Structure 1
Amino acid sequence: MGRVLRPGSQTPKPESIAHSSHKTAESSRREKSTWNGRGDSLSLRLEEITDRSVETDNFVQIELARVRPETPPFSPATRSKDATTSIAYNDLFVFDREVKSLLEILIGQSVQQALLEVSQEEEDRLKVEELRLHEEYRNVQRAEAQRQMALQLRYTQEERRRLEEGVIREEQAQRLAEKLEIAAYAKKYLENLMLSVYQRLQADGHFDKRVRQELELHFVPWMCEQVGTALDDLTAVSFATQVIVRRVLLEAKEEAKHHLEKARVPFHQTTGLSGGHPHKHNIAITLTVDFISQ
């Protein structure tokens, strides 16, 4: 159940309200468990309070003593009279005399600083020049070292190449000597072998009929080949000649037949013969044409 706030009472804090509600719920839970254990049939009822209590706003006010200005320090009043000292002109400080030392100091310091800066610049310039000379010398030394290394490398490569060429030359000379030795041995062996083989072939009779062998092996086949070629050429020429002659004879036969047909009837008039028999001349021309055609 909720709590009823009376007018004029202090407004409870949220923490206290939550704590009290938690305690109320806990006590209700305990009572319910007790009742359930006891066998009573009781029910809880929650009631909401809608009445708004009287509320007032309070502010915190700073004390005026804390915001007042700071208290000035205490200065006691003087009890004696102030006295003055009178100093005559050029009695305590003479400007024309004292300013010389000040000017000497100021100008001396400026000149000394300028000289130091100039000497520092000169020293820096000398250092830069020295560094440049050192860099040039180092570059020259480096280039010389690289040149010496390249020269040494070339010498090493040339020496290695010449050694390899010497080894190859020795191998070639040795191989050539072996070949010459083998060739000399083979030549000597073949000379003896050829002499013995020639003697054996001559003893067997292979060189007695040299002319006959030359004729049988070389001349006769060549002569047969040449004769065959000549006969083939002659046969071809003869055949061509026969063809040409036959063609000419056939043309002459046709021309003779044509003239014979024209001159068969008035033959005795064209020939100018008198008292002769015209059939004899016709028979002679026919026999001539038949002979030509054959």
Structure 2
Amino acid sequence: MAEVQKQREAQRRRLQRANQTRKRPGTPEAVPGRKHMDIQTDSYLEKLTDRVVEFEAETQTDFILDRPPSPLFMPAKIGIDIETQIEDGELFDFDVECEPVLEVLVGKTLEQSMMEVLEEEELASLQRHQEDFEKRRNAELLEVQRMEAAEKRRADEVQRRVAQQAARHEQDICTMRKVLARQIASEHLQGLKGRLLQNLEDAGVFADVGSMAVETKFMPGLLQAVVQQIKNSAHEHALADAVISSSVESKPAPGHVAFCDSRSFCGSPRLSP
């Protein structure tokens, strides 16, 4: 046994030395600005424990041929055998000894059965109470959900009515603005057409070539000729008045009156009455 222990110890030391000789080369130093971190790079998770390293080693020995099986170990008989005679009923009476045991067993069984029946009844009662409670709770939850849904519908209706009222108010304001704008535009456009036509006419947009020629060429000459004729007529009237005045001032003979005016020649003399 000691030899086997020594062999195992020597094999374990050889394995340790072999593991120490197969060490991986060291990692080079990290570049400036970085540092090395210890991370798990194996393909499996290594669980660290405080157990001592264990290993198994086996060896094969030659089979022993033609060897009979080892006999069973029979200790040597020591002491002196002594015996005695016991008749039936001297040490144990089954009916007498088993009666109290049976009474206890039957009593415990009946008591346990009654306890189990009571527990079952209690569990059934608890189950019924729980079912009733679940029903009442579900009914209350349904009622609460119905009330919440009704309140939500009412709130949605109120919001929708408020939105409709705001939209209607906005539409009324827009319509009023349109009406006012149309009225102002109508009032502004009532005299705009006449003023526009008058301004365009004054600007000469609608001027006729014939009328323009008459106004610019014919009418000035005609007016000038009329003015000249009026001047000539006034001059002639002035001359006629001068002649009449000179004739009146010449004092004709008594009994004769020369009658003439500015529009005709002097008539023949006639006697005064």
TM-score range, shorter chain: 0.3 to 0.5
- TM-score, normalized by length of structure 2? 0.37
Higher helix share: 1
| Higher RCO (C-alpha under 8 Å, 6+ residues apart) | 1
